């Protein structure tokens, strides 16, 4: 990011301001004692917290068989209390360290829940542990208002709901992540939830919303790709005929109901009346699942829908004046072209010609997309000026 000195010098060299004006601006900016944001300390605290949590858990695991059940349970509880207690003590002199320790404390809570289940041989229902972990993270978010706790909730609650879905449909013939067509509603819910996260307004006042928005930016494209693989199996719809398994009517209603309602409520909470973009995303998801199947025409429709969705993100980013959304849209469009080339064209061109065309695609397409992206971001900058 360019500093104000660099921008000022560029304006002076371009003749936009004269030397005397540049000197006055330089003097005024220099007199403002704006503290620079320390990026090294939060990074060090975050990495240290991860290493600390990993080391403690490895130590406990190495000596687990040597500990009695009472000592195991005491140790598990002590880890949660220790990290949150250290965070409370450190908050007065280092808020960044306190935030990191609270995040480690929430991680220790999840480990404690699963280990307690193992200690007491509780009934096997693994999504229940995720539910308890989610409740603990939500309580920490309510009390602390820290962005790492928001990320914990943003990850744990969807994981819990997906686990409950797997248990609800209860088909042992298919793996947890294998493409069977039965998990299309759940994965569509992930796509909608990622879009709801992304739609959160980014500002300096609410780091929680900013963290959720960045989580949505990270998760949206992988979730959409996962939906593409899953939706190609047409066993998802109740009206499907054939040998492939399909969802019952109850599973269909419950799955799609949760997949739509949970992200919709979150989008409304984050954006209120400005959540109209979620309705467009919902229409895209429904149409994507409807037109995508395991046929040549269905695959072509899938790539068309991906390109349409990427273009929609770019348009939405221009409307919202958000560079992050534009970048995600451009990246999604580039990946769509790349996947389509490997899936439909590369084998038909031959190895040498295919590599030559791929090189041209990377150079020419990359230059064109980057030029377009810069123009779009420049349009946002001019609108904000």
**Which pLDDT tens digit goes with each residue over 311-329?**
999 999 888 888 889 899 9
Spatial separation of the C-alpha atoms in residues 154 and 134, rounded to whole Å: 9
pLDDT surpassing 90 at residue 378: no
Q: How many CB atoms lie within 10 A of CB 32?
A: 7
Spatial separation of the C-alpha atoms in residues 117 and 374, rounded to whole Å: 53
Q: How many CB atoms lie within 10 A of CB 25?
A: 16
Among candidates 58, 107, 99, which has minimal Cα distance to 79? Answer: 107
pLDDT surpassing 80 at residue 195: yes
pLDDT digits (tens, 9 = 90+) for 146-160: 888 999 999 999 999
pLDDT digits (tens, 9 = 90+) for 95-114: 878 888 888 888 888 877 87
Q: Where are the alpha helices (DSSP H) in 170-274?
A: 184-198, 207-231, 249-271
What is the mean pLDDT of the segment spanning 46-72?
Answer: 70
Residue 2 — very low, low, confident or very high, per pLDDT cuts 50/70/90? very low
What is the mean pLDDT of the segment spanning 35-46?
Answer: 59
In this predicted structure, what is the pLDDT of residue 255?
A: 87
* Dihedral sign computed on CA atoms, order 114, 145, 199, 278: positive
Q: Radius of gyration over alpha carbons of the chain, in Å?
A: 25
pLDDT surpassing 70 at residue 264: yes
Chain centroid to CA 219: 3
Q: In terms of pTM, does the model score above 0.85?
A: no
């Amino acid at each position: 990011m360019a500093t104000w000195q660099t921008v000022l010098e560029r304006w002076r060299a371009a003749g936009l301001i004269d030397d005397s004006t540049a000197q006055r601006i330089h003097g005024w900016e220099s007199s403002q004692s704006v503290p620079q944001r320390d990026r090294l300390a939060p990074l060090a605290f975050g990495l240290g917290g991860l290493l600390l949590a990993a080391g403690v858990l490895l130590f406990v695991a190495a000596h687990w068989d040597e500990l009695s059940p009472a000592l195991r349970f005491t140790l598990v509880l002590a880890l949660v209390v220790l990290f949150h207690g250290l965070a409370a003590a450190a908050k007065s002199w280092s808020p960044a360290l306190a935030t990191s320790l609270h995040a480690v404390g929430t991680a220790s809570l999840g480990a404690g829940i699963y280990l307690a289940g193992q200690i007491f041989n509780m009934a096997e229902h693994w999504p229940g542990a995720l539910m308890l972990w989610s409740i603990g993270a939500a309580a920490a978010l309510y009390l602390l208002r820290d962005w790492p706790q928001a990320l914990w909730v943003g990850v744990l609650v969807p994981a819990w709901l997906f686990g409950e879905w797997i248990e609800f449909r209860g088909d042992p013939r298919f793996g947890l992540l294998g493409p069977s067509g039965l998990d299309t509603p759940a994965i569509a819910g992930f796509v909608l939830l990622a879009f709801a996260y992304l739609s959160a307004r980014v500002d300096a006042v609410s780091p929680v919303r900013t963290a959720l928005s960045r989580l949505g930016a990270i998760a949206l494209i992988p979730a959409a790709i996962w939906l593409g693989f899953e939706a190609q199996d047409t066993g998802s719809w109740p009206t499907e005929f054939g040998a492939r398994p399909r969802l019952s009517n109850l599973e269909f209603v419950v799955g799609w109901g949760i997949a739509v309602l949970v992200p919709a409520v979150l989008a409304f909470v984050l954006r209120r009346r400005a959540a109209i973009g979620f309705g467009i995303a919902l229409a895209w998801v429904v149409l994507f699942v409807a037109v995508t199947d395991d046929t040549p025409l269905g695959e072509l429709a899938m790539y068309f829908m991906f390109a349409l969705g990427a273009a929609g993100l770019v348009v939405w980013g221009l409307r919202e004046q958000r560079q992050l959304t534009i970048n995600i849209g451009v990246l999604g469009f580039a990946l769509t072209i790349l996947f389509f080339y490997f899936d439909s064209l590369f084998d038909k061109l031959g190895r040498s010609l295919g590599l030559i065309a791929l090189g041209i695609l990377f150079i020419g397409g990359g230059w064109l997309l980057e030029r377009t992206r810069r123009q779009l971001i420049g349009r946002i900058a001019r609108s904000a000026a």
